[in-house]
Structure 1
Amino acid sequence: MKIILPVAGKGTRLRPHTHTRAKSLVQVAGKTVLEHIIERLKVLAADELIFITDENGQQIEAFMKRVFPDLNCSYIVQKDRLGPAHAVALADPRIAEGDDVLVVFNDTIFVTDLTRIPELCAEADGLIYSKEVEDYQRFGVNVIRNGIIVDMVEKPDTPVSRLAQVGLYYLKDANRFMQYLDQAIQAGDTVKGEFYLPAVFMRMVNDGLRFRAPEIDAWLDCGKPETLLETNRYLLEERHSCQGDLIDTVVIPPVFIADGVTVRGSIIGPYVSLATGTTVEASIVRDSIVNADCQVKDANLRFSILGNGVRLAGSPRRMNIGDDSLIEMDS
C-alpha cells in the first residue's frame, strides 16, 4: 500500500500560528496534528508515505526524519495551487502496478479501525470514509443506495444525505485511480479554478465502479482555533499525562503537561496542553494549548492558544497568539 498525504495549503483559518509553520505541525494534546495522524496510519505498514507539500515541505521532511525515522517517505512539491485532486495526482510517478492507495488529508484527525479495510472493501473498488453530521449543508455528502455510493452532492440545500466526506479515501487499484485523476484534469473539471476529488469519483461511479462509505467513529477538525481546542478536549480524555515539575500547583485533569515544563503557584486544567520548555507562574490556565518555550505569568487563560516562544504577563481571559510574541498587560 502507498499512502498519499497532501499537506500543502496556507492554513489561513489557523493564523497566526500558520504564519511560521505548516498547518499539520500545529500542536494539539501534546503532539502535532501530523503525529496524531501518522500514529493512526502505522497499523497499515505501508510501503511508502508520499507527502504533497508546498514551500513548508522542508519542515514536514525534517519533522518526519526526527519523529518517524524508520518510515519510508517521499516528498513532492505542489508548485501550482490547483486544488486537492491536482495535489493527489502529483503522486502518480510513485505509484506502481498492483498498488492500492490511501489518501489522507491533514485538516482532521480521524478515529477508525483501518485494519478493516480489506473486509470493508471486499466487494467494492474503494472506500470514501464518512461521518453523519447535522449541518450537512457545509459539506460534500455521499448518497447511498443498498450500501453503495450512487451520487455525491456538494453542500446540499435539502437533506439528500447527512454522510459528509471526511477527507479519507481508499482505492483498491491505485493505477486506475491515477488514470481517472488525469482524465478529470485533462477535461478541466474545476470548481472556481481548482480540481476536487468528488468530480473524479463521480466519473468512476458513472463508469460502474463501486464505492462504500464506512462511517468513522470520530472526526476531529483541526482547521481553525475553536475546533482545534475542541479536538484538544477530545484527545485529552484519552491522554491525560503530567510529567512536568509542579510546585504549589493544583492540576484538574485531564491535562497534558510535558517533561521540561515548570509550573509554580498555579491552577492548570481541565483540558490544558503545556509543551516542553514552558514556564507557568501564578496563573490559572483552562481549556487552552500552550506550545513550547512559553513564559506565562499572572495570567488567567481560557479558550486560548499560544504559539512557540510566547512571553505573556498580565491578566487576559482569551488569547490567540503566534510564535515568538511578547504580551505584557498591566494588572
Structure 2
Amino acid sequence: MDSISAVVLAGGEGSRLRPLTHYRPKPLLPAATTPILEHVFDQLIEAGVTDITVVVGYKRQRVQSHFGSTYRNIPLTYVTQDHQFGSGHALLAADGTVEGPMLVVNGDQFVESAIIEDVLEAHDGDNAVATLGVLNRMDLDPYGGVVLEDETVTAVVENPDDDRSYRLNAGVYVFESEIFEAIRDAESRAGEQSLTDGIAELLDHGEPVRGTVSDGVWVDATYPWDLLDVSFELLESGVVDEKRAAPVAETATVHESAVIRDPVVIAPDCEVGAGAVVGPFTCLGENATVGSNAVVERSVIDSDTRIGANATVIDCVTGVGVTIGNGTAIPGGPGDVRVGDRIFEGERLCALLGDRVMDRGGSTYVPGAVIGPDVSVEAGATVHGTIAEDTEVRS
C-alpha cells in the first residue's frame, strides 16, 4: 500500500499490572528500558506509516507530555477516550480524525514491523473492508482467536473454548471506514464495545474480512511477570540493539572489577559499583545504581532506582525511584502471585516493587511479593504477599 495513517489505541490503564500503573498508563511501562509505546511508534515508522493518531485516556497527560506533537519527524495527533469502554469504543474516538483505509494497532503490545507490513500488503480495499494479522500460536489465553479459511476470516472469538482451529489475533488491523458503523451496531457486552464485536458485525452482514498469517516478534505484557518476558524477548531478538549503539550507554559508569553478563541493556547515567554482577537478562533504566558486590539477574530495573551494596536481586521488576537497601535478598522465583482476586501459581517473579518503595536493607523477599508504591520496608523485614501502597513493613 501507499502511505497510510495509523491509529494507536493507548487509552487503557493496564489494571492487571498494578501497582506499576498506579501513576502511569501501561503504554509507558518499560520494555527493556524504553516505553512500550515508543517501540510501537518505531515499528510503525519502519513499516512506512506517515502519520499517527494516538487514542489516549488513562493518565493521558503522561503520554502527551512524554512524546509531544511529533516523534521522529512523524506528526502525532491525540484524541481522547474519556472513559475506557473497550477497544472498539477507543477506535470510535478517532472517527472524524482518520478515514479508511487505516492501520490500527494496540499501544501496549510490541509488534514487529514485519507483521505490520504483511497486513498492509494483504489488504485490498476493493475486496475487503478489514484485514487482520494472525499468528500461529498454540496458547491463545487471554487473547482472541481467529478462524481462517484460506485468506478469509470466518469467525473472531474472545477466549475461544471450542475445538475449532484458531490462530491468535495479533491486534494488527487495516480497516475501511465501515468499521465505525459496525462497532456502533454491534451489541455491547458488559457495557463495553470491542473491536472484535465490530468485526463480527461485519461478518454477520456478509462483508469481506481477510486474514494474513505472519511471523515475527509479538509480545504482550498482561501480568507483572510478563514485563520480564517482554524485555527478555526484545534482548534476544536484537530489537534493543537496533535502538542503541551498544548495550552499555556511553554515559554509564561501570567499575573495572564489575562483571556484565550479556544480554543486558544499561541506560545512560547508570552506575555499577566494584565487584557487582549485572546480567544476564537484565535491564537498568536511566540513572540506576548498582552498589558494590551486588548481584542483579533476570530483572527489569526502572529509572532512578538504587540497589545497595551486597544486595541480591533476581527475577525482579521495579518502578521508578525505588531503593533496595544494602544486603537485601530478592532471591528469585518461582512464586505464587496475586493479581486482583486471582492467585497465579509458580510464576517466575520474585518481587514487584512499585514506584518509590524504600527498602532500608537486610530484608528478605518471599517469591511472589507485590509491593505497592510509597511502601517503607524496615531493615531486616521479611516481605511476602501483596502490600498496599503507603504501608510500613516492620521487621
TM-score, normalised with respect to structure 1: 0.91
The aligned counterpart of 2:180 is 178
Residues 246-285 of structure 1 aligned to structure 2 (within 5 Å)? 246-247=254-255, 248-264=257-273, 265-281=275-291, 282-285=293-296
Identify the match of residue 125 of structure 1 among 106, 125, 129. 129
Tell me whether 289-298 or 155-164 shows the greater mean CA deviation: 155-164
Q: CA offset at residue 291 of structure 1?
A: 0.9
Change (3 A) 1:137 1:231: closer
Change (3 A) 1:275 1:116: same
Q: CA offset at residue 27 of structure 1?
A: 0.9
Identify the match of residue 40 of structure 2 among 37, 42, 59. 37
Q: What SS does the aligned partner of 2:107 have?
A: coil
CA offsets 1:98-118 (integer angstroms, 9 cap, x no match):
x41111112321124133445
The aligned counterpart of 2:199 is 201
Q: Are the aligned partners of 1:110 and 1:216 in contact in 2 as well (CA < 8 Å)?
A: no
Q: Percent identity among equivalent residues? A: 23
CA offsets 1:119-163 (integer angstroms, 9 cap, x no match):
322454332112222233543211112221111233222331230
Change (3 A) 1:9 1:262: same
Q: CA offset at residue 279 of structure 1?
A: 0.9
The aligned counterpart of 2:318 is 306
Q: Are the aligned partners of 1:137 and 1:157 in contact in 2 as well (CA < 8 Å)?
A: no
In the aligned structure 2, how far is the partner of 1:302 from the partner of 1:40? 30
Change (3 A) 1:66 1:258: farther
Identify the match of residue 172 of structure 2 among 164, 168, 171. 168
Identify the match of residue 316 of structure 1 among 330, 338, 359. 330
Which residue identity does 1:24 align to in structure 2? P
Residues 1-331 of structure 1 aligned to structure 2 (within 5 Å)? 1-65=4-68, 68=71, 70-96=73-99, 99-113=100-114, 114-122=116-124, 124-136=128-140, 138-171=142-175, 173=176, 175-184=177-186, 189-206=187-204, 207-237=206-236, 238=238, 239=240, 241-243=247-249, 244-247=252-255, 248-264=257-273, 265-281=275-291, 282-297=293-308, 298-313=310-325, 314-317=328-331, 318-330=350-362
What is the Cα-based RMSD across aligned positions, in Å?
Answer: 2.0
Q: What SS does the aligned partner of 2:228 have?
A: helix
Which residue identity does 1:284 align to in structure 2? V
Q: CA offset at residue 226 of structure 1?
A: 1.1
In the aligned structure 2, how far is the partner of 1:254 from the partner of 1:183? 49
Q: Are the aligned partners of 1:277 and 1:294 in contact in 2 as well (CA < 8 Å)?
A: yes
Q: Are the aligned partners of 1:124 and 1:212 in contact in 2 as well (CA < 8 Å)?
A: no
Change (3 A) 1:138 1:311: closer
Q: Are the aligned partners of 1:136 and 1:161 in contact in 2 as well (CA < 8 Å)?
A: no
Q: CA offset at residue 30 of structure 1?
A: 1.9
In the aligned structure 2, how far is the partner of 1:119 from the partner of 1:228? 31
In the aligned structure 2, how far is the partner of 1:86 from the partner of 1:216? 29
State the number of aligned residues. Answer: 323
Structure 2 gap segments, 5+ residues each: 242-246, 332-349, 363-379, 381-395
Q: CA offset at residue 221 of structure 1?
A: 1.3
In the aligned structure 2, how far is the partner of 1:43 from the partner of 1:66? 19
**Quick check: which one's helix share is greater?**
1
Q: What SS does the aligned partner of 2:232 have?
A: helix
Structure 1 gap segments, 5+ residues each: none
TM-score, normalised with respect to structure 2: 0.77
Superposition misfits of 4+ residues, deviation over 4 angstroms: none
In the aligned structure 2, how far is the partner of 1:235 from the partner of 1:136? 21
In the aligned structure 1, how far is the partner of 2:35 from the partner of 2:143? 25
